[in-house]
Structure 1
Amino acid sequence: MKEGYIIRDQERPHFLTCTIVDWIDIFSRKTYRDIIIECLEFCIKNKGMVLYGYVIMSNHLHFIVQSKEGKLSDLIRDFKKFTAKQILEKLQTESESRKD
C-alpha cells in the first residue's frame, strides 16, 4: 500500500489495488498469476478474508475485500508480504528475462 493510505473503517469492504514496482508486467505469465490466486485462497481459508471479486492485470491487482477476523490493514499487510516473498522466490529459481 502507498505511504499515507489508511483504512479507517476496518470492518467494511474496500476496493484495493496492489501494483508491481515499476509497473513490470509480471502477471503476464501464468505461474505468477497462480501465486496470487493461491495466496488469496490461503487468506480466505486461514486469515478471515472475505473476497468479493478480483481482477489480475498484467502489472497490478484490483480486489474488493473485507476482513471478518481482525484488522483489514493487517490482513492486507500479511497478504502482500507473503505474496511478494513467493514471487521473489519464483523469480530466483526460474529463468526470467525481466530480472534485469
Structure 2
Amino acid sequence: MSYEFAEGYKIRDQGATHFLTFTIMGWIDIFTRQRYRDMMLESMQFCRKNKGLQVGAYVIMSNHLHLMWTARENNLSDIIRDFKTHTSKAITRSIEEEPESRRNWLLHMFGFYANRTNANDYFKVWTGNNHPEELYSEHFLRSKLNYIHQNPVKAGLVREPAHYLYSSAADYAGGKGIMDIDLLF
C-alpha cells in the first residue's frame, strides 16, 4: 500500500528507511523556543518505544525537521500521521496555556491556515507534504545524512555539525546526542 503526498512523493515501501521533511505552515519559526523542540524529541522517543519507529537521524531547525525514519512494523505513514497530529495538538495547547509572547499571532496564523483547508481543525501547524524519499542506496543515505547534519552549519548556528544540540550529528561523530537514536551504520 502506498501513501500519497503532495507533489507526487509517495511512501511505496512502508518499512523502508525514508528521508522526510516536516515543515511548519508559513515557515513560522516555532522551534526557536526550547519547549517546542523538546516536544519533538519527546514525541520521537514515544514513537520509538511504543510504535516501532526507528530514528536514524534528525535535525530540528527553527521551522522544520529533517528526519531519517524507518518503521519496524511497516507502518511509516501511520507513524507520521500520529506524530504530526499529536505534536500539532501539543504545540497549540502549549501556545494557549503557557507563557508565549507571540500567542495571539501564532494562534491567528495557525487558525488562518486551518481555514484554508477542508479539515475540521481549528489550527493547522504542519504542512501536508512530508517530501518522503526512500533511501535506496548507501551513497544516497550518506548524502541525505550529511544534508541533515549540515543544516545548522549552513544556517550559521554552529561551526561543526556535532555542536548543534538538536541533531543526531554528535551520535555519528562518536559522541552521544540529546536523544537516543538508531544508528544507520
Do both share a fold (TM > 0.5)? yes
Name the structure 1 match of 2:19: 15
CA distance in 2, matches of 1:83, 1:13: 22
Structure showing greater Rg: 2
TM-score between the two structures when normalised by the length of structure 2:
0.51
Name the structure 1 match of 2:55: 51
Consecutive unaligned residues in structure 1, runs of 5 or more? none
Post-superposition offset of 1:11: 1.2
Q: In the comparison of the two structures, how many residue pairs are matched?
A: 100
Is the aligned partner of 1:84 residue 2:88? yes
Q: Decide whether aligned partners of structure 1 residues 70 and 2 sit closer, same or farther in structure 2, where only a CA change above 3 A counts.
A: closer
Q: Deviations over 1:51-97 (max 9, x none)?
A: 00100000000100000014111111011111111111101012323
CA distance in 1, matches of 2:49, 2:80: 15
Aligned-residue sequence identity (percent) comes to 53
CA distance in 2, matches of 1:2, 1:67: 18
Name the structure 2 match of 1:28: 32
CA distance in 2, matches of 1:76, 1:30: 22
**Secondary structure at the counterpart of residue 12 of structure 1:** coil
Is the aligned partner of 1:94 residue 2:94? no
CA distance in 2, matches of 1:14, 1:66: 6
CA distance in 1, matches of 2:74, 2:19: 18
Consecutive unaligned residues in structure 2, runs of 5 or more? 106-185
CA distance in 2, matches of 1:53, 1:86: 22
The two structures, once aligned, show a CA RMSD in angstroms of: 1.5
CA distance in 1, matches of 2:30, 2:13: 31
Larger RCO (CA within 8 A; separation ≥ 6): 1
TM-score between the two structures when normalised by the length of structure 1:
0.92
